[in-house]
């Protein structure tokens, strides 16, 4: 370890920055953020430093550096363009045992400035020991994406209880166990989901109880897994997937997403294929309650978004009746994800001024929908779970006024490397799909925007079946497109 990591308290303490350019400005900004009293020595200042000087937020000495500028400083930064001045500042500060940093010259530094993640009072510092500041910044951006801004509020909440917990539990080991229990339990999740008052109440009770009572209450995480691509998961979804003790998942959740769940979590498959429910919905509702009452953190993982044809409303209704704590994490719904990856904009000023989501089958298994509304012109209609009912959907839309030439598409396993887009019309799409071995999950898009697919398609999955997606308005490949497709198939 070339450097000893530490955090220095600079609130109200005198620090010196030598230099007045943009680099010096960045250093002054960080020092002021830490509460330091900053003096800048330089012949000239950049406009940003001039503004700070005029506002009385820094002390400015308009001249070259002098040796006695270091007197009384607790920290010095050299950020000039003059190598000789920077080296002299470093030698002088080092001889007087004052921590010094020379920007971009680690060999002249007694301390280096790390790349920082600021979730005050929580802070994370990343350093490569000066070997590669760019790598440190890249690592920061990756780590930062997994640390929500609300962690700062969590740290502040905990800080407010530290003295009381110390008085209640004088023994260091007991305090450690207490805080581990609280921060691995519902307190953290309540704060991160914006329910600080509830988290504070739990901490109040926990401080009162000390280690006399273990919190056995479970919780349910209702999480949208999105349309299939793991990269489309939200940060909160990923975090909860790593916390869960047991996972109840549907058929529409892709294997790649299930791979991201905590390794030792119990996995329960709930099925949910059409007419093939491994667990009926009522049983799933009761299962979630049962597992939570056993004190488990339950991840209810659903394809797409839980509240868009995902029956999430039915599940949380049961949880609320039973008094089970829960939180809902939205996911990218299949319509948005699959259409985007298929190059089909769901709205477009020239083609569609409204958008309707519809289910391909109702609770009783029928497709008795409001066809008059769905058949309106200048709108896009997206049907979820419509694979088996596709012939009926196309027939009824035509019967209620949509022309048979209306473009229509079926997106199979959208956003994944197995994505396939079959494009036709209301007249031709059912026959086209019947000729292919189409597997769910699928999505049906009806409307003039589908005609944009050929021009706007951008996603090229590795296993793309391009030949089956190149169809004219009559459901047949155009000659040039057909030749290209045949060439690809024979390759």
The pLDDT tens digits for 82-117 are: 999 999 999 999 999 999 999 989 899 999 888 888
Q: Are the C-beta atoms of 58 and 28 separated by less than 8 Å?
A: yes
Dist CA 466 CA 469 (whole Å): 5
- Residue among 369, 246, 239 nearest 297 (CA): 246
Whether 333 shows a pLDDT value over 70: the answer reads yes
Q: Are the C-beta atoms of 447 and 351 separated by less than 8 Å?
A: yes
Region 32-44 average pLDDT: 96
CB-based burial of residue 139 (10 Å sphere; 0-12 exposed, 13-18 middle, 19+ buried)?
A: middle
Active-site annotation holds for 272:
yes
pLDDT of residue 217: 61
Per-residue pLDDT of 152-196, as tens digits, reads 899 999 999 999 999 988 888 778 778 877 887 788 888 988 899
Catalytic residue among 69, 250, 302, 398: 250
Q: Are the C-beta atoms of 221 and 246 separated by less than 8 Å?
A: no
pLDDT of residue 172: 83
- Mean pLDDT, all residues of the chain: 87
429: confidence class by pLDDT, cuts 50, 70, 90: very high
Whether 378 shows a pLDDT value over 90: the answer reads yes
Whether 366 shows a pLDDT value over 80: the answer reads no
Whether 205 shows a pLDDT value over 60: the answer reads yes
Region 222-239 average pLDDT: 92
- Maximum separation of any 2 CA atoms in the chain, in Å: 91
pLDDT of residue 279: 83
469: confidence class by pLDDT, cuts 50, 70, 90: very low
Catalytic residue among 27, 69, 272, 302: 272
Dist CA 171 CA 139 (whole Å): 37
Range of 13-27, 182-196, 356-370 with top mean pLDDT? 13-27
Active-site annotation holds for 250:
yes
Region 320-328 average pLDDT: 93
In this structure, what token pair is assigned to residue 184?
A: 């691995």
Three-state SS for 85-105 is HHHHHHHHHHHCCCCEEECCC
CA dihedral sign of residues 367, 373, 378, 380: negative
- State percent of the chain over pLDDT 90: 64
Range of 166-170, 294-298, 449-453 with top mean pLDDT? 449-453
Q: Crossing angle, helix 47-54 and helix 22-33, to 10 degrees?
A: 40
Residue by residue, DSSP assigns 172-216 as HHHHHHHHHHHHTTHHHHHHHTT-HHHHHHHHHHHHHHTTSS---
Whether 382 shows a pLDDT value over 60: the answer reads yes
- Residue among 218, 190, 363 nearest 300 (CA): 218
pLDDT of residue 491: 28
Whether 148 shows a pLDDT value over 60: the answer reads yes
Whether 474 shows a pLDDT value over 90: the answer reads no
Taking residue 434's Cβ as centre, other Cβ atoms within 10 Å add up to: 10
Q: What is the pTM of this model?
A: 0.60
pLDDT of residue 200: 93
Lowest mean pLDDT among 201-205, 272-276, 405-409: 272-276
Residue numbering of the annotated binding site for S-adenosyl-L-methionine: 227, 303-305, 308, 333-334, 385, 414
pLDDT of residue 442: 94
pLDDT of residue 364: 64
272: confidence class by pLDDT, cuts 50, 70, 90: low
pLDDT of residue 465: 47
């Amino acid at each position: 370890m070339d450097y000893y990591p530490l955090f220095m308290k600079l609130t109200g303490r005198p620090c010196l920055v030598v230099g007045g350019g943009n680099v010096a400005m960045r250093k002054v900004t960080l020092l002021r953020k830490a509460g330091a009293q900053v003096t800048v020595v330089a012949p000239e200042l950049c406009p940003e430093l001039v503004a700070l000087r005029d506002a009385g937020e820094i002390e400015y000495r308009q001249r070259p550096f002098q040796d006695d500028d270091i007197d009384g400083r607790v920290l010095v930064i050299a950020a000039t363009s003059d190598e000789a001045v920077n080296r002299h500042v470093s030698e002088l500060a080092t001889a007087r045992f004052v921590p010094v940093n020379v920007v971009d010259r680690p060999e002249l530094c007694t301390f280096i400035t790390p790349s920082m993640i600021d979730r005050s009072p929580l802070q994370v510092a990343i350093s490569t020991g000066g070997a590669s500041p760019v790598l440190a910044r890249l690592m920061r951006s990756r780590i930062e994406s997994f640390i929500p801004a609300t962690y700062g509020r969590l740290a502040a909440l905990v800080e407010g209880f530290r003295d009381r917990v110390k008085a209640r539990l004088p023994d260091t080991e007991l305090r450690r166990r207490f805080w581990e229990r609280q921060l691995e339990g519902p307190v953290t999740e309540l704060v991160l989901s914006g329910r600080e008052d509830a988290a504070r109440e739990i901490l109040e009770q926990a401080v009162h109880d000390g280690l006399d009572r273990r919190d056995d209450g479970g919780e349910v995480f209702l999480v949208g897994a999105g349309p299939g691509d793991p990269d489309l998961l939200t940060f909160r979804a990923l975090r909860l997937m790593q916390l869960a003790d047991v996972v109840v998942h549907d058929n529409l959740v892709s294997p790649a997403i299930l791979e991201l769940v905590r390794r030792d979590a119990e996995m329960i498959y709930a099925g949910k294929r059409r007419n093939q429910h491994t667990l009926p919905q009522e049983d799933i509702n009761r299962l979630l309650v049962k597992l939570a009452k056993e004190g488990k953190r339950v991840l209810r993982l659903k394809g797409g978004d839980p509240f868009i044809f995902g029956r999430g409303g039915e599940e949380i209704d049961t949880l609320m009746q039973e008094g089970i704590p829960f939180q809902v994490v939205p996911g990218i719904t299949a319509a948005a994800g699959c259409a985007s990856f298929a190059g089909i904009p769901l709205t477009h000023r020239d083609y569609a001024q409204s958008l309707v989501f519809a289910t391909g089958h109702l609770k009783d298994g029928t497709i008795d929908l409001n066809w008059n509304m769905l058949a309106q012109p200048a709108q896009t209609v997206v049907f979820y779970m419509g694979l088996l009912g596709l012939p009926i959907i196309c027939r009824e839309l035509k019967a209620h006024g949509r022309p048979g030439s209306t473009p229509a598409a079926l997106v199979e396993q959208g956003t994944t490397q197995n994505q396939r887009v079959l494009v036709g019309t209301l007249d031709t799409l059912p026959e086209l799909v019947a000729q292919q071995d189409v597997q769910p999950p699928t999505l049906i898009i009806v409307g003039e925007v589908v005609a944009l697919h050929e021009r706007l398609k951008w996603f090229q999955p590795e296993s793309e079946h391009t030949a089956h997606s190149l169809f004219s308005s009559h459901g047949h490949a155009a000659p040039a497109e057909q030749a290209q497709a045949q060439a690809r198939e024979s390759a």
